């Protein structure tokens, strides 16, 4: 298993080069916990580009399906189309930045432990 540092380096490289090699794609697929073929289909349209940070998240989507969506990292994506919510780039409660999706083992903020699925509800209060 590659270390988290190694994985993060691959993650960065991926975003600097929007059309990765098969090898890079597979490394990133592991990082994001998805299938490499599925990841290839999820790449942004040519010329759109992606941001590797901040990591963004729609809490409502995560509450339904607990996994990171790659389109949240597209430069053109500012909000969740499905929920009409602005994507979060940090915890709405404590302001902590999100870790890379491969490290989202527990699905909550590593600082204040609010669950990702509850973050969008917090914004509605
Ligand atoms: Zn959503
Ligand atoms: Zn927090």
pLDDT in tens, 28-68: 777 777 788 887 777 777 677 777 778 999 999 999 999 88
**Ligand with minimal distance to 95 CA:** 2
4 alpha carbon – ligand 1 mean position (Å): 27
Residues with Cβ within 8 Å of 51's Cβ and at least 6 positions away in sequence, in order, are: 15, 73, 74, 75
User: What distance in Å separates the CA atoms of residue 8 and residue 99, rounded to the nearest whole number?
Assistant: 10
Asked if residue 99 has pLDDT above 80, the reply is yes
69 alpha carbon – ligand 2 mean position (Å): 20
**Cα-to-chain-centroid distance, residue 119:** 15
DSSP 95: -
| Confidence (pTM) | 0.68
Task: Give backbone dihedrals phi and psi of 77, rounded to 5 degrees, phi first.
Answer: -85, 115
């Amino acid at each position: 298993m590659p270390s988290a540092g190694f994985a993060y380096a691959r993650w960065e490289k991926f975003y600097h080069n929007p059309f990765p090699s098969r090898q890079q794609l597979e490394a990133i697929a592991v990082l994001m916990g998805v299938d490499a073929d599925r990841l290839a289909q999820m790449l942004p349209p040519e010329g759109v580009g992606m941001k590797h940070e901040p990591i963004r998240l729609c809490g409502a989507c995560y509450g339904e399906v607990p996994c990171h969506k790659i389109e949240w990292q597209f430069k053109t994506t500012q909000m969740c189309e499905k929920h009409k919510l602005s994507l979060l780039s940090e915890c709405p409660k404590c302001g902590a930045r999100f870790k890379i999706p491969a490290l989202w083992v527990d699905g909550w903020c590593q600082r204040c432990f609010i669950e990702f699925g509850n973050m969008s509800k917090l914004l509605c209060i």
